Amino acid sequence: MNSSSRAIGEALPRKTTLNREQIIGFWAAWSGWTLDGMDSVIFALVLVPALKELLPLSGFAASRASSVWPGR
């Protein structure tokens, strides 16, 4: 029986030994990891522009050194 002759709604053959909870747990962990990575990228993209705008308001010069090494 090939895939074109399969009835609608018929279950596909199982390709994994994981149960439903394990599959859901995997996708939850993967989604969390992906969102953490996205947060890191967004933080990296806005860090320097935000420091260039906010440092002069706090009394520090908005130089390359103060933008690259915050907290120094």
Residues 6+ apart with CB under 8 A from 47: 67, 70
Question: Tens digits of per-residue pLDDT, 2-41?
Answer: 556 667 767 767 787 889 999 999 999 999 999 999 999 9
71 in Cβ contact with 48 (< 8 Å): no
More confident residue, 11 or 72: 11
CA distances from 41 to 1, 33, 48, 71 (A): 47, 13, 12, 20
Spatial CA neighbour of 38 closest among 48, 46, 27, 50: 46
Q: What is the pLDDT of residue 58?
A: 79
pTM: 0.49
More confident residue, 60 or 29: 29
Per DSSP, the three-state class of 63 is: coil
Q: What is the pLDDT of residue 22?
A: 93
